[in-house]
Structure 1
Amino acid sequence: VKRVAASFNSKNSCDARTYIYILPTYAFCPIEEITSESYRITPEVLQLVKDVSSEYLGSHNFHNFTSGKKFTDPSARRHIFSINVAEPFMKENVQFTIITIKGQSFMLHQIRKMTSLIIAIVRGIASRDTIQQAYNADK
């Protein structure tokens, strides 16, 4: 353990943040199927979740993932270092997975909107190119 200066503030002095979302796998159930706790994610769907998630990696303009930011606002550009989708696990007869997102910093609602867009794409509600479109100037 090393003592830090009294002026050190972990909230403002960090170089990255990591967020963990624990989701029931039935969140990824195809839209045409009945969503239920008995749903078990297939290896193919889990791989799709991983593939879609990886489209967030790197530096992008996330103005469409928060409110009140314009495309031209430099503060809307954020860097995502890593996204991990864990193998599913069971808890009280419900299957879950964990999505871990590490980034330089995040804006209000950004992670929730990122996660919900992954779900929408995997379920077939949104098209696969929606993430790339969201990086563009259009709202």
Structure 2
Amino acid sequence: MKNLKLKDIVDEHLFAELPGEELPNWGDLNIPANSAPTIETIDDGYKIDKIDVKKLSVDEYVIDVYFKLGMDVDFFVDRTYNRNEEKSDYYVLDFDWNDHVIHAGKTIDLPMFVTLIINSGFECLSIEINDFEGDSEYY
């Protein structure tokens, strides 16, 4: 019997979708950016915290997967903010980006909620990131 490689399927989707995308709902993450941060890299070392499985039809199942995903994001910080900030939790990527901003980055962990639809042959028919903004009641 063929096994479902759940984490591999989720990883493939995350790596295809997330790098290069803007981070939604970033205002609550204590990132001093002057525009939406961009996801640079994601960490595949996450652990799945919870899995819910529901039968959708005779041979299809819905699987909800919950985990926290580590990622590096980059953003721009106003130079005046950086000078006034005694202790920052971000790192500088390019101090001389231009006369007005510094190119910075930060490593963060975000709660994720991904839904898959699989068939009885363990083939993934659909996958979707449902909660990427930390609004899940699970966390």
* TM class, shorter-length: 0.3 to 0.5
Higher relative CO (CA 8 A, sep ≥ 6), structure 1 or 2? 1
Q: Which has the higher strand share?
A: 2
Q: Which has the larger radius of gyration?
A: 2
Q: Which has the higher helix share?
A: 1
| TM-score, L = length of structure 1 | 0.32
